Amino acid sequence: MTRRAILLTGLKAAVSLGLLGVILAGLDLGALWARLDGDVALAGLAALALLQVQALGAAARWRLVLSAHDRRLPLRTAWRNTLLGLFGNQAMPSTIGGDALRLWNGWRLGLPLGLATRTLVVDRVFSFLGLILLCVAGLPVLWTQAEDPLVARGLLALVLGGLGCLLILLGLRLLPNAIARRKAAAPLVALSDSAWRVLSHRRVMPPVLGLMLLPHLIDITVVWLYCLALGTAAPWWMIALVFPPAILTAAVPVSIAGWGLREGALVLGFGIVGLPAETALACSLLYGVSAVVTGLFGGAVWSLGDPDGLAALGKARREAARLSDQDDTRP
């Protein structure tokens, strides 16, 4: 790992720890600890099962994106690739994240590096679009209930920023040929073409639309189950209002796997709809722990199915780092 990468990881860790410290300082940790009981354990088991369904849905969505590019991949293979990505994102936080591991594994499975990159990015784009749509659906309610207008304006800025990025991506296909053929623009135009290829595919697009919402609906359900287990009888729709914006906030790449940002945003969101801050913090931490356990499980499943066994995880990280370094040194 380069000095720059170490510094960047250290800064992200400092942001996560600092934000968590500020949040924890203002809450009754004793009361929070007392609420962790058998009901929470049962909710945790249900959460782990749901997060596996989420992984299968993500694998199915990537398979559909690949099929729009005339590539076929068995569901089991796509699922193992998704689990490797979860391991990279949650259980091995570093500058070599889950997407780099999935890219390396896709290349290892025989996919051309460019195609693997484009399809993984397009898959991420559709998942991000599903998150944005849920945020847009809840924005009018949060706008009217938020006492501080800066909160509502901040969420609106995040949503509009996300929509703007998506529109720019789709619009790159319309660039004049003289610009589109330039070395710097060609990969971005190819990415835009890949996105349109999925959008225009009659067989692929309908299930992709459903699967781009599925992971976020599962996340909402996981947090709702933890909320109920902690003794806060909030309706599902209320969690659906506040958790997608928290995930959108956590996507800002300034912390380790969104830790700290997600907790702060959820405490703020729970406050807007009249739910306890302690419950928000506990739900977010429990959700994060569930994601880490899912990542560890994913790494184990992927490695045990590899001829190199657990040693394959170390090999995957080194090879993914090498591919990323090669990509960074390209002119």
Which pTM was predicted? 0.83
Where in the chain are the domains?
39-328
Structure tokens at 257: 């796997």
Helices and strands (H, E) in the chain, number of each type: 14, 0
Instruction: Compute CA distances 196 → 68, 144, 151, 256, whole Å.
Output: 10, 36, 34, 32
Q: What percent of the chain has pLDDT over 70?
A: 78
> What would the two tokens of residue 286 be?
């429990």
Q: What sign for the dihedral angle of Cα 85, 246, 165, 214? A: positive
Which DSSP string do the residues of 126-164 spell out, in sequence order? Answer: HHHHHHHHHHHHHHHHHHHH-SSHHHHHHHHHHHHHHHH
H or E segment and range at residue 44: helix 38-68
Cα 273 from Cα 259, distance rounded (Å): 22
- Residue corresponding to tokens 């109920």: 228
With contact defined as beta carbons under 8 Å apart, do 121 and 327 qualify? no
* Terminal C-alpha separation, the chain: 21
State the pLDDT at residue 227: 94
Rounded Cα–Cα distance for residues 285 and 199 (Å): 36
Q: Which residues of the chain have pLDDT under 50?
A: 94-96, 327-331
Distance from C-alpha of 302 to C-alpha of 77, rounded to nearest angstrom? 9
* Residue 131 CB coordination number (10 Å): 21
Rounded to whole angstroms, the Cα distance separating 223 from 244 reads 11
CA dihedral 280, 284, 290, 293 (to 10 degrees): -140
Residue 310 to residue 199: CA distance in whole angstroms: 38
Rounded-to-5 percentages of helix, strand, coil across the chain:
80, 0, 20
Give pLDDT tens digits for 30-48.
655 666 678 899 999 999 9
Element (H, E) at 102: helix 98-108
Closest CA to 219 of 302, 301, 155, 131: 131
